[in-house]
Structure 1
Amino acid sequence: MDAEEFWQVVERARVAVGPAADRARPEAQSPIAEALVAELTQLTLPEIVEFDRLFGEVRAQADAWDICAACWIIQYGFLSDDGFSDFQAGLVSMGRRTFEAVIANPDSLASHPAVQQISTSVGRSLWIGDEELLFATHQAYEQLTGDAEAFWDAKSAEGTTTRPVGRKPEGDRWDLRNEGEWRKRLPRLGAMFLAHR
């Protein structure tokens, strides 16, 4: 499996979900993760392990301080290692075109319907992060083998490891609480969220 095939699997899951793929959702719901598990169960076991490796590599492309800042803004000032991992997975669930646009320019998230929906929502119950997506490969592998540990054994046997938790994002670090920096570095996102605070 290569990057092109990886994104094709993600896109098939997005198509299966339909318009909900581009909507914000309550944190515990993940229609994309469910659809991705269904897609992954159509692959061979080694392909699932390879998909997981590529998923880690793709998410690592989003280890950038300005993407952390976008997460901070969209999540109303909340950022943790786990929350940022969920956010990166959510970016992948938005599909290749959106993901690559965000890597090139995190402020492009202001154009995404889910982010627009969050910016105008009442309360803080909507989210684009996707924790469940982080476990889709494990779930698919377990469905096919009936063994909850088989996925981890396969990853270990392949020498595949998950990227380190808590890795420092790349780029200039700046105070995420500084709204003046939002306006300078992420002007569209900053304006969108500041208007509704």
Structure 2
Amino acid sequence: MSEDDFWALINSSISKGTKAERVHWLQCRLVETSPEEIIDFHSWMFLTLQRAETWNLIHAAGRLFWIPSEESFVYFARWLIGLGREAFESVVANPDNLIDLDEVRDLIQYRRSGGTFSNELYPEFEMLGYVAIDAYVQVAKKDARSLWEALEAKGIDVFGSFNPKGEPWDDLEEAQWRLPRIHQYLAEME
């Protein structure tokens, strides 16, 4: 499975309904493939997540949605992947582009109007990370450990530490120049 095939599946899943319905649809597509293709899908998921691990994106997500931990950020990054290739590529290229996404603006407006995020609305998609695992266990008739071993054989450190790229920072003044449009948008809402 190529990266384009991975993204074609992700993009096609967008119209399939809720997060749970999307996961089910993706699993149904993956169980129609081979164990090798499922391994490839999961490889692309890991590699794509690693591309999102930057200090600027961590802070962009934190400023907009208060993402308090590494685990929360991973679930947020899966949500970003779930928005599709175009959205993901735009935000990874420039985390300040996060504010351009309709989904993000809608969530901010909803929260500002006093709404609380349901699981469906919250900007996280933890289940997306398990799609290939469940499909692999079903198709390969092996446990998840053999999937991890296959990924590690491809050079993917599945249990590696969270290692964001870029220079660490944590200062509101720095946010003004690193994420100027997000900073301006939030300032205008106060």
- Mapped to 2, the partners of 1:30 and 1:74 lie a distance apart of 24
Unaligned runs of 5+ in 2: none
Change (3 A) 1:142 1:15: same
CA contact (8 A) 1:49 1:137 kept: yes
Q: Distance in 2 between matches of 1:162 and 1:30?
A: 27
Q: Which residue of 2 aligns with 1:44?
A: 34
Which of these residues, 76, 84, 98, is aligned with residue 109 of structure 1? Answer: 98
Letter in 2 for 1:101: S
Count of residue pairs brought into register by the alignment: 182
- Cα distance in 2 between the residues matched to 1:119 and 1:192: 10
After TM superposition, where is structure 1 displaced by more than 6 Å over at least 4 residues in a row?
none
The aligned counterpart of 2:48 is 58
> What TM-score, normalized by structure 1, do the two folds share?
0.80
Between stretches 136-145 and 99-108, larger displacement belongs to 136-145
CA RMSD of aligned residues (A): 2.4
Structure 1 gaps of 5+ residues are 21-28
Identity %: 24
Equivalent residue number for residue 131 of structure 1: 126
Quickly say closer, same or farther: Cα 1:58–1:136, change in 2 above 3 A: same
Provide, for residues 25-60 of structure 1, a one-character-per-residue CA deviation record: whole Å limited to 9, x for no partner: xxxx54433332232222222211111011101111
Residue in structure 2 matching 1:191, options 176, 184, 187:
184
Deviation at 1:131, TM superposition (A): 0.7
- Give 2:31's aligned amino acid: T
CA contact (8 A) 1:49 1:154 kept: yes
